[in-house]
């Protein structure tokens, strides 16, 4: 694989206006053709990280980084307008499936083509032709009817297909999928992710797949980044994460993946405790309150390690 860095983020920190840290010095790298899973609970900072890449961070939050290069463009020096144009032209955004990401009062066809018309010289007819092709490609049969519909006339799965088709309109060089399968049936979840994987295989478009579901994501990614309380706990290939998890949190996540042969009345496994606020670790480990392997050292110090083949983790223990 060509080692071209699509995403090169070093030491990204996101803070609120009052100085509370939400994402605490994370580094992310994504290479051409790769699918990177970013996994963590709600509040782990994974969505904020994705929003920073999309230039969608809310105004009351600010970010800083040592390096923030997306598709070769450096966000740290890129102007506001150019960043917006870069995101619109080269990044496809597949949002959470809540339906609220499509405007309820605008027909699908007008929403699907407006970003395309902005960044190509093609006319409306050509844009609609491309929309038709893509909508068909994402598995919608009655394309004409779909294009004429309003979002609330569609099912959740249909809407997410529309979102994917819309993300593909400008032939993106990066796809950011932020919890793309939330609130979908599990069969539809697989279909949506299969679709993203197909796009990835076909066009070698790199994908960042943000999800809380490690069990689902593992089938679609090459590498996985496990986030907790705004920090990266572990980052490695899927095989490494599942065959040789180094961080107790990753182990806990693997353990809570529900298996199919669960017995009736049996409780689903869970990780005890709650996600603590980011930045309360006080130099120690962010996961210490919930960790069953906690040692005294975890209170005030943490070790970052990288072992064989870029397997990164942040823990005082060695498994």
| Phi, psi of 135, rounded to the nearest 5 degrees | -65, -35
CB nearer to another protein: pick between 149 and 237: 149
CB nearer to another protein: pick between 74 and 114: 114
CB nearer to another protein: pick between 163 and 240: 163
Instruction: Tell me the closest approach of the beta carbon of residue 118 to another protein, in angstroms.
Output: 6
Instruction: Tell me the closest approach of the beta carbon of residue 298 to another protein, in angstroms.
Output: 38
| Other Cβ atoms closer than 10 A to 39 | 27
Q: Are 63 and 14 in contact (CB under 8 A)?
A: yes
What span, in angstroms and rounded, lies between the C-alpha atoms of 143 and 129? 11
Give the CA distances from residue 112 to residues 104, 159, 207, in Å, rounded to whole numbers and listed in that order.
13, 12, 20
Instruction: Tell me the closest approach of the beta carbon of residue 183 to another protein, in angstroms.
Output: 13
Contacts 24+ apart (CB under 8 A), 272-278: 275/41, 275/42, 275/43, 275/44, 275/228, 275/229, 276/229, 277/20, 277/229, 278/20, 278/21, 278/22, 278/23, 278/24, 278/43, 278/45, 278/229, 278/230, 278/231
For 23-51, the DSSP string reads: EEEEEEEEETT-EEEEE--TTSSHHHHHH
Instruction: Tell me the closest approach of the beta carbon of residue 282 to another protein, in angstroms.
Output: 34
CB nearer to another protein: pick between 99 and 215: 99
The residues binding another protein (CB under 8 A) are: 54-56, 84-89, 91, 93, 95-96, 98, 100-107, 114-115, 118-119, 150, 152-153, 166
Instruction: Tell me the closest approach of the beta carbon of residue 315 to another protein, in angstroms.
Output: 35
Q: Which two tokens stand for residue 58?
A: 């809310």
Residue of 219, 261, 260 whose CA lies nearest to 242: 219
Radius of gyration of the chain (CA): 20
Instruction: Tell me the closest approach of the beta carbon of residue 262 to another protein, in angstroms.
Output: 34
CB nearer to another protein: pick between 23 and 54: 54
Instruction: Tell me the closest approach of the beta carbon of residue 84 to another protein, in angstroms.
Output: 5
CB nearer to another protein: pick between 55 and 198: 55
């Amino acid at each position: 694989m060509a080692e071209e860095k699509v995403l090169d983020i070093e030491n990204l920190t996101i803070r609120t206006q009052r100085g509370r840290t939400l994402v605490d010095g994370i580094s992310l790298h994504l290479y051409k053709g790769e699918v990177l899973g970013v996994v963590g609970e709600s509040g782990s900072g994974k969505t904020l990280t994705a929003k920073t890449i999309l230039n969608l961070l809310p105004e009351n939050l600010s970010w800083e980084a040592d390096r923030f290069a997306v598709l070769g463009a450096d966000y740290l020096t890129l102007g506001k307008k150019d960043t917006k144009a870069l995101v619109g032209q080269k990044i496809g955004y597949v949002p959470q499936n809540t339906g609220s990401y499509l405007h309820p009062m605008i027909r699908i066809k007008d929403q699907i083509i407006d970003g395309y018309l902005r960044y190509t010289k093609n006319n409306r007819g050509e844009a609609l032709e491309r929309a038709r092709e893509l909508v068909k490609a994402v598995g919608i049969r009655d394309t004409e009817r779909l294009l004429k519909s309003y979002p609330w006339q569609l099912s959740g799965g249909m809407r997410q297909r529309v979102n994917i088709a819309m993300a593909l309109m400008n032939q993106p060089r990066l796809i950011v999928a932020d919890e793309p399968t939330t609130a979908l049936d599990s069969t539809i979840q697989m279909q949506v992710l299969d679709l993203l994987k197909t796009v990835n295989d076909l066009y070698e478009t790199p994908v960042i797949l943000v999800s809380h579901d490690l069990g689902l994501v593992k089938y679609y990614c090459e590498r996985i980044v496990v986030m907790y309380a705004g920090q990266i706990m572990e980052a490695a290939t899927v095989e490494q994460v599942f065959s040789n998890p180094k961080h107790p949190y990753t182990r806990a996540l693997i353990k809570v993946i529900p298996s199919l042969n669960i017995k009736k009345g049996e409780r689903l496994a869970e990780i005890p405790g709650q996600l603590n606020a980011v930045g309360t670790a006080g130099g120690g480990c962010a996961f210490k309150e919930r960790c069953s392997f906690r040692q005294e050292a975890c209170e005030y110090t943490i070790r970052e390690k990288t072992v064989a083949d870029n397997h990164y983790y942040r823990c005082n223990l060695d498994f």
